[in-house]
Structure 1
Amino acid sequence: MMTIVWDGRQRAKHQKMSQKLGICKILQDRRLTIQDLRNALGLSYGICQRILSEELNMRRIAAKFVPRLLQNEQKQHRLEVCRELQQQLQEDPNFLSKVVTGDESWVYGYNPESKQQSSQWKSPSSPRPKKARQVKSNIKSMLICFFDIDGIVHKEFVPPGQAVNKEVYHNVLVFEGEHEEKTSREVAHERLGTPP
């Protein structure tokens, strides 16, 4: 077995070449790990890490999850809808005040206080505060809420076990449309069969 002895200049030249190779490899495949680079370049883990973090100013992050990756036709359709909305806004400046949007969210019986919310100031001599670990309430309900430019237009809890789909939204909107002259409170009492 032969051992290669490097002087300072040769080592620096070798490291510069390895850095350039590392840059090329990372740009070709950004999912390479430091260990992969180490194995490919024959450099130490620390040097590979320094090349990436200090010289290339890179950091390893996870991909952002999106609901779905859109096909070109879907992107085109969204673009057309946005242009139509833009056109309507130019024709009617009050258009946005007529828009109603909705969303649903789980509402828990209680939400435990976060670690940040429960933090407190302490002096060096005082003991560290203790807090029991809490979990979210098992009691939860799905809330559907509709908004316009001024705030909440309608809100309603979904019955337990009911899936929230387009039929549920349609029924809520149709029912609400039929009772526009009544307040949300009156409609709620009617639905529940309780006196106002």
Structure 2
Amino acid sequence: MDQRICIKFCVKNKIKCSETLEMLTVAYGETVLSKKNVYKWYKLFQDGREDANDEPRSGRQSTSTTDENVQAVKKIVLENRRITIREVAEDVGISLVSCHKIFSNVLGMSRVSAKFVPKLLNFDQKNRRMSIAQELLDDVNDDPDLLIYTGDESWVYGYDVETKTQSSQWKSPGEPRPKKARQVRSILTKRTVA
């Protein structure tokens, strides 16, 4: 809108269209209107148009983004964060484009992949690991020649592990990114702690 008003100003001051385009490019940089649009609006204002707003368009108004459809989409996605737009669109009975607009424009949701973390431990598990580590440290301090064997669990999969894309889910703007434990095999190691 601002650029259209600038074009109108240039027309009223009899500045050439090519110079108008150059001035807009300097002022707006990468967000400048295309050359075609600058010339189009320049011609419209030159022919006597005064209004910089778009003219109302005829055609069907969108009926898919109603409050009922938005609430239905929101309810479905909150029940299953991994559902696809196609599945939601089929469940609600709206087009894919309308469903995508509801997700991104109305609900402000985006699909994100889980953030990989080494382990997903609850508070008790974290405390237990801390106490064991403290006991081992105390033992080493008492006897510096002590050998300590450490190890970690081995993961045995009876299924294919999900890829990052497969584990992606919908997230609202204020929600934290979901976490997923990194599942790698580790081996038993022998270390001398001094």
TM-score range, shorter chain: 0.3 to 0.5
Q: What TM-score, normalized by structure 1, do the two folds share?
A: 0.35
Which structure exhibits the higher relative contact order, with contacts defined as CA atoms closer than 8 Å and separated by 6 or more residues? 2
Q: What TM-score, normalized by structure 2, do the two folds share?
A: 0.35
